[in-house]
Structure 1
Amino acid sequence: MTIDLNSNSDADTRAIGRRLSGLLQAGDVVVLSGSLGAGKTAFVGGVADGLGIDEHVTSPSFVMMRKYVSGFIPLVHVDVYRVGSLGEFDDLDVFEESRDSVLVIEWGDAVAPSLPDDHLRIVIEITGDTDRIMRFGGHGSWAVRPLEEICE
């Protein structure tokens, strides 16, 4: 199942992330892709808000991984933009680090061969100065989860 949602602002993008958080559970993997400035980190901020995380979410571009534990489900936020190889990604051991958490991977297409079968892929496409189309596609068990709930 694929669902497209429109976002007209950073606030919309965060709100969509908050709505998705209601479907998330520990062990889930969400993969984000989109060009620089598309709103990936804003979306993760919305997910964090929805999970009850009170820390400010920032891009982990230079540290590669941040873990937020103040919510009712921890969040592991990974950015693989600067990862040089699949081996380097695998060395981060993000799946072990995040098994009790929701894992969100920015630029996740770069590490597609290492992704688990069960994951939610979200592509954020810039369509205007502040306008975005967010395309949600489920893989594995995500293919049958009720993604339409985020449309409400």
Structure 2
Amino acid sequence: MERKRKRHFSDKMEKFCLAYVETANAAESYRIAYNTENMATATIGREGYNTLQKPQVQARLEELRKKVMERHEITVDTLLAELEEARKAALGAETPQTSAAVSATMGKAKLLGLDKKIVELTGKNGAPIETSSTVTVDHKALSSVLDCL
């Protein structure tokens, strides 16, 4: 029988989560939670991303987000209402702000999950995508390399 391994959640992970809720930046949150004095910037970014991907960190972030949303009484409905109000205000301004209205409309679509991007991964009629490549060879360079062999 296979035993489930209990995932360890450290104080540093908690500090990372709290910082991430505040900054929404994995690298900065990693800097706050861990000793990064001797780390390269790229390493900090990578470690921040890796920490963010851990299931126990994701679960804790979800808990923290729910608490924030409850405290501020934020729901999808309240956000949709605010965006609709902003859209109407933008269109009803002395000089209509169509760009702001479009942004509000797109914000509503995003909240409702209607902004999904569709990427086609197959070719015509579901067949694999046809690819071709061309290589240009300098015959003098090829000859000199072959002569060395």
Same fold (TM over 0.5): no
Higher helix share: 2
**Relative contact order, CA 8 A, sep 6+: which one is greater?**
1
Higher strand share: 1
TM-score by length of 1: 0.20
Larger CA Rg, structure 1 vs 2: 2
TM-score by length of 2: 0.20
